[in-house]
Amino acid sequence: MIQRVRKAIFPVGGLGTRFLPATKSMPKEMLPVVDKPLIQYAVEEARAAGIEEFIFVTGRGKSAIEDHFDHSYELAATLNERGKQKELQAIRETLPEPGQVAYTRQQEPLGLGHAVWCARHMVMNEPVAVLLADDLILAEVPCLKQMVEAYERLGGNMVAVMDVPRPQTAAYGVVAPGRRDGRLVEVKGLVEKPKPEAAPSTYAVIGRYILQPRVFEHLGRLERGAGNEIQLTDAMARIIGDGPFHGYDFAGRRFDCGTRVGFLEANVAFALGRPDMRDRVKEFLKNYA
């Protein structure tokens, strides 16, 4: 029987060094694209995919994320007093149901694999989604929803993949592919940050995963991989033989908001998608071509 995915992990314990000084005292995941923090896009995507429990793996200096998903009594009261109903609605929409959110802390940023492992007791024995908020995906059907629909037919493990230019493979986890069927690519192997000449393909793993709980056993060995970090890719590579493992070549555009240019591009793309802003943004962009 294929167990439904009800829980999602949001690893937000990283240092965001590529975005300094912005991230000195503010979590990278709170950077806004247009007017919404990255982490809120990720939570909304998870909700659209049917996720009911949201597990944040935070770190030092990340309390703004907890505040963002909490009631803000003073702000709500002031907006109410001033008759700002639209704004009031916007902050209400950020609120998860009581008890739907849990936080745990990664005491040291030892890598993505380590952050995911920190959530093991909250996930227990069921499949879990992992979403990296700095991979922002613009799609008609939210990326994780596309994956959950495929997962409900196939079960096993699944990662979002995207075809990247070969010179860029060293920035990603890369799939050694088997058969391709529509958007699905069989995963035969996974390598973290391979040099272009050694990469088994150009299918890069993007920050959306559906994983079976056995991955925690391997993460629990706390073995260091590329960059001396505990890599999720290495633990996933060890569960490839366990059952189906697919890459899902999602429909949509991904923006790497962990980098300055990716973040800027996301802002432009999302602004152009907003009917209230599109025309003015198009107009001023002409000045910079």
196 vs 194: CA distance, rounded Å? 6
DSSP state string for 112-148 = HHHHHHTTHHHH-SS-EEEE-TTEEEE-SS-HHHHHH
Q: What is the closest distance, in whole angstroms, from the C-beta atom of residue 136 to ligand UTP in the complex?
A: 11
Q: What is the closest distance, in whole angstroms, from the C-beta atom of residue 281 to ligand UTP in the complex?
A: 27
Q: Residue 78: what are its φ and ψ, rounded to 5°?
A: -65, -45
The residue from 5, 33, 51, 115 that contacts ligand UTP (CB under 6 A) is 115
Q: What is the closest distance, in whole angstroms, from the C-beta atom of residue 105 to ligand UTP in the complex?
A: 10
Terminal CA-CA length for the chain: 54
Q: What is the closest distance, in whole angstroms, from the C-beta atom of residue 77 to ligand UTP in the complex?
A: 33
Per CB under 6 A, the segment of 16-24, 44-52, 214-222, 275-283 that binds ligand UTP is: 16-24
The residue from 7, 8, 9, 14 that contacts ligand UTP (CB under 6 A) is 14
Does 37 bind ligand UTP (CB under 6 A)? Our answer is no
Which residues does residue 37 pair with via DSSP β-bridges, in sequence order?
32
Does 191 bind ligand UTP (CB under 6 A)? Our answer is no
The number of residues that bind ligand UTP (CB under 6 A) is 22
49: number of CA atoms within 13 Å, CB side? 34
* Number of CB atoms found within 10 A of residue 240's CB: 17
Cβ pair 191, 218 in contact under 8 A: no
Does 225 bind ligand UTP (CB under 6 A)? Our answer is no
Cβ-based nearer residue to ligand UTP, 79 or 143: 143
Residue nearest to ligand UTP (CB): 14
In the chain, what are the helix, strand and coil shares in percent, each to the nearest 5? 40, 25, 35
The residue from 8, 16, 119, 267 that contacts ligand UTP (CB under 6 A) is 16
Cβ-based nearer residue to ligand UTP, 7 or 114: 114
Q: What is the closest distance, in whole angstroms, from the C-beta atom of residue 94 to ligand UTP in the complex?
A: 19
Burial of 248 from C-beta contacts in 10 A (0-12 / 13-18 / 19+) = buried
224 vs 190: CA distance, rounded Å? 16
Does 15 bind ligand UTP (CB under 6 A)? Our answer is yes
Per CB under 6 A, the segment of 8-16, 43-51, 91-99, 170-178 that binds ligand UTP is: 8-16
Number of residues assigned to the chain: 289
Does 13 bind ligand UTP (CB under 6 A)? Our answer is yes
Distance of CA 216 to the CA centre of its chain: 18
Does 205 bind ligand UTP (CB under 6 A)? Our answer is no
Residue tagged 């008609």 (tokens): 140
Site residues, ligand UTP (CB under 6 A): 11-19, 28, 57, 106, 109-112, 114-115, 132-134, 258
